[in-house]
Amino acid sequence: MVLSQTSRVAPPPAAIILDKAQADQLEALANAALRRSPDLAEKLLNEIARARVVEAVRLPQDFVALGNEVTYRDETTGREQTVVLVLPQHADIAKARASILTPIGVALIGLREGSSFSWETRNGQKRTLTVVRVRPIPEHGGQLN
């Protein structure tokens, strides 16, 4: 079989690792959101299902978890943005606190620094975003409540 030069195989999704306690809470959150936001809830459930789940003490600090500050870069524009990934009730865009139940929250959870992922903008443009830095925030400490 000969592939044309324009054929491209999409790269596999980046490996993700989740803290077990957070994975359990995220699964409950996604199941509760199935009626309100079925597409987003399904995406979160799919991410949880494909994740390697570990105890909190074994989660490397360079992986995105709830309560972490995450800087990511749009590879098309070069623009970087920093957010803290939080549960929906703690989201506040003015304070750069992004809910896990948003498309960017679902895309970021469990990724390692240096990982890239495909993203589609609201107007349908495909972009690649790269996780530049992950930093635990002491006051969050990964706490979910």
Instruction: Please give the chain's pLDDT, 145 residues, in tens.
Output: 444 444 444 556 778 999 999 999 999 999 999 999 999 999 999 999 999 999 999 999 999 999 999 999 999 999 999 999 999 999 999 999 999 999 999 999 999 999 998 887 778 888 899 999 999 887 644 444 4
Is position 66 within any domain? yes
Read off the pTM: 0.82
* Beta strand extents in 1-144 (DSSP E only): 17-19, 52-54, 68-74, 80-86, 97-99, 116-120, 126-136
21 lies in some domain? yes
The verdict on residue 6 lying in a domain is: no
60, part of any domain: yes
Is 144 within 8 Å of 19 (Cβ atoms)? no
Residue type at 82? T
In a domain, residue 83? The reply is: yes
| b/e 79-91 (16+ beta carbons within 10 angstroms → b) | eeeebbbbbeebb
- pLDDT score at 139: 60
Residue 78 lies in a domain: yes
Q: Specify if 145 maps to a domain.
A: no
Say which CATH number the domain at 69 has: 3.10.50.30
Residue 8 domain flag: no
Q: Residue 8: is it exposed, middle or buried by C-beta count within 10 angstroms (0-12/13-18/19+)? A: exposed
Give percent helix, percent strand, percent coil of the chain, each to the nearest 5.
30, 30, 40
Range of 44's domain?
17-136
Total number of domains in the chain: 1
> How many residues are listed for the chain in this entry?
145
Cα torsion for 129, 130, 132, 134, to the nearest 10°? Answer: 90
